[in-house]
Structure 1
Amino acid sequence: MQGILERGISWAQTSGLGAVLNLLYAILIFAIGLLLARIAVRSLRPLFDRSRIGQDALLKKFFLRVISGAIVIVATVSALAQIGVQVTPIIASLGLTGVIIGFAFKDTLSNLAAGLLILIYRPFYAGHTVDIGGTLGTVDELTIVNTQLITPDGLRVYLPNSKVWESKIINYSTIKHRRLELSISVKYEQDFDRVRQAIQEILDSDGRILKDPPPSVQIAELGLANINARILAWTSLSDFGSVRDEIYNRVRIVLQREGAV
């Protein structure tokens, strides 16, 4: 500790008090920049809430992060200039450096571009239930590089924006109804009409299943040993999970009772 203090005193004597003050000013500038970034975020958040931006949680978070990051970058450049770093050549060399960085961080830049496209075309909003390339979850956040989903089992999944933009996106929150579909097989020696009638009664008696279009049990294929059929029924999106589970279970009971399986 004594050695560090002695070297600090020696450096101050060699470089002069001006260098020490410049370093302190640089630290102060950077700290003020961090403080201003926080103040800007806190001040702009209620303003955004009262504007159209506030209606979209993803867009609001994205803008707040960009503004905060820009302030920190300006503060960092100003702090470097205060301690004598020539920032003008650095800025002037960004053209060549940008090409190098572009190759080194092409995936990051691709994710940034895809994030902007997602914000422009809006295939989903915060809180929407979506299936992105086979990953099902609720949209929680969109950053400049990834989209974050909360899966039904509570996991947070980070999907690169470029992959999100390239994937098939199914947005379940933009639809009111969803079709339930179940495939069954009935042996030829069993009474298919009886099985179909029993299942149709189950569908018709459930008030959560829509009457238009009407539910049905349709023959899909005549196999070598079985009659293959499809059960089709429409229900509201909010009831889909519970209806599917209950209908599947009741159909299973019918098939077992009739000896169809």
Structure 2
Amino acid sequence: MSTFLNIHSAEEYASAFLQKLVDYSPRVVSAFVVLIVGLYAIRLINRFVKRVMIQRALDPTLSKFLADILLWALRVLLFVTFISRLGIETSSFVAILGAAGLAVGLSLQGSLSNFAGGMLIILFKPFRVGDTIEAQNVTGTVSEIQIFVTKLITGHNQTIFIPNGILSNGVIINYSMESIRKAELTLAISYDTDIRQAKEIITGIMAANPKVLKDPEPVVVVRELTAQSIILAVRPWSTNDDFGTMPSEILEACKAAFDKAGLSIQPYNVEVSRS
């Protein structure tokens, strides 16, 4: 008798399960249809937005940033729609998601600061990709501006990542924002040297170098008189492209011209006071 009741109960459970499955299957099918169509629509929208940004000639970093935000916002919206189609109460889910987001936000305050710093850099553009900058005691060429960090490539081909939070709140020297740069070179000559002759030699060298600009005019001035020597400041201008090699060419030509003229370059000693 008990065996008969067990079989009967199992048949009832199976029948109820199948009935529930049949009743719930339209929701599952419709939810997955919405998911598949939504993913395809998001892909089309993302491509369309990127194409519009390219046509409007927006900054590449800003375009990528906005496209990523739009992509994830649409994905979250699609996920909420998907679970709603499955019959899951979205209000409680959103409340749980909000509480989790608050907890994550409190634990990732540094990351949120970097995120805000990235937005400030992208919006106000103190530098762009390809610019040479100096920040946080590091000098390099901006390779990529990401949401949380900025990637620099140094002159030694080292990759450095600087968090956007401290980068946006610190001092940034952009060497590429202006098209030309001035070099500050120093030469030390002895007190026996004719200053006018030395200045004429240096001025002639700068005038003969095609990488030195004529406007602004390069100058040579006496910067300092030390106990050992006279310090001359040599200030030539060049374009950013020529600035890497121009200073060394000027110094090398000055050494050769001074040797030919019988003038000596003194060692540049820094005096250290002792208490």
Counterpart-to-counterpart distance in 2, 1:173 and 1:192: 35
Which residue, out of 243, 247, 254, partners 1:240?
243
Q: How far has the Cα of 1:66 moved from its partner? A: 0.8
Task: Give the 3-state SS of the residue equivalent to 1:173 in structure 2.
Answer: coil
Cα separation, partners in 2 of 1:256 and 1:21, compared to 1, 3 Å: farther
Q: TM-score, normalised by structure 1?
A: 0.78
Paired positions, count: 248
Which residue, out of 38, 52, 69, partners 2:43?
38
More deviation, 189-198/28-37: 28-37
Does residue 176 (structure 1) correspond to residue 179 (structure 2)? The answer is: yes
- Give the aligned partner of residue 87 of structure 1: 90
Task: Give the 3-state SS of the residue equivalent to 2:244 in structure 1.
Answer: helix
**Is the 1:37–1:69 Cα contact (8 Å) retained in structure 2?**
no
**Is the 2:187–2:265 Cα contact (8 Å) retained in structure 1?**
no
Counterpart-to-counterpart distance in 2, 1:183 and 1:238: 22
TM-superposition CA deviations, 1:16-41 (whole Å, max 9, x none): 57778877776665555544433222
**Is the 1:217–1:230 Cα contact (8 Å) retained in structure 2?**
yes
Does residue 111 (structure 1) correspond to residue 114 (structure 2)? The answer is: yes
Q: How far has the Cα of 1:255 moved from its partner? A: 4.9
Q: How far has the Cα of 1:60 moved from its partner? A: 0.9
TM-superposition CA deviations, 1:138-158 (whole Å, max 9, x none): 434333222233444555433
Q: CA RMSD in A?
A: 3.1
Task: Give the 3-state SS of the residue equivalent to 1:163 in structure 2.
Answer: helix
Larger radius of gyration: 2
Counterpart-to-counterpart distance in 2, 1:243 and 1:124: 24
Question: Structure 1 stretches of 5 or more lacking a match?
Answer: 1-12
Which residue, out of 197, 207, 216, partners 1:213?
216
Counterpart-to-counterpart distance in 2, 1:168 and 1:44: 34
Q: How does 1:136-155 map to 2 (within 5 A)?
A: 136-155=139-158
Task: Give the 3-state SS of the residue equivalent to 2:242 in structure 1.
Answer: helix
Q: How far has the Cα of 1:230 moved from its partner? A: 1.0
Does residue 157 (structure 1) correspond to residue 160 (structure 2)? The answer is: yes
Which residue, out of 71, 94, 105, partners 2:74?
71
- Give the aligned partner of residue 52 of structure 2: 47
- Greater helix share, 1 or 2? 1
Q: How far has the Cα of 1:131 moved from its partner? A: 2.8
- Give the aligned partner of residue 207 of structure 2: 204
TM-superposition CA deviations, 1:112-141 (whole Å, max 9, x none): 222222233221233333333343334343
**Is the 2:62–2:123 Cα contact (8 Å) retained in structure 1?**
no
Question: Structure 2 stretches of 5 or more lacking a match?
Answer: 1-16, 267-275
Does residue 132 (structure 1) correspond to residue 129 (structure 2)? The answer is: no
Task: Give the 3-state SS of the residue equivalent to 2:213 in structure 1.
Answer: coil
Counterpart-to-counterpart distance in 1, 2:254 and 2:95: 72
Q: What letter corresponds to residue 126 of structure 2 in structure 1?
A: P
Q: How far has the Cα of 1:199 moved from its partner? A: 1.5
Counterpart-to-counterpart distance in 1, 2:78 and 2:43: 13
Counterpart-to-counterpart distance in 2, 1:145 and 1:21: 43
Which residue, out of 245, 254, 263, partners 1:251?
254
Aligned residues: percent identity?
27
- Give the aligned partner of residue 4 of structure 1: none
TM-superposition CA deviations, 1:168-196 (whole Å, max 9, x none): 22223321221011112223344444333
Cα separation, partners in 2 of 1:226 and 1:174, compared to 1, 3 Å: same
Cα separation, partners in 2 of 1:43 and 1:166, compared to 1, 3 Å: same
Counterpart-to-counterpart distance in 2, 1:34 and 1:245: 57
Cα separation, partners in 2 of 1:58 and 1:197, compared to 1, 3 Å: same
Cα separation, partners in 2 of 1:33 and 1:148, compared to 1, 3 Å: farther
Q: What letter corresponds to residue 251 of structure 2 in structure 1?
A: Y
Q: TM-score, normalised by structure 2?
A: 0.74
- Give the aligned partner of residue 9 of structure 1: none
Cα separation, partners in 2 of 1:226 and 1:147, compared to 1, 3 Å: same
Q: What letter corresponds to residue 47 of structure 1 in structure 2?
A: V
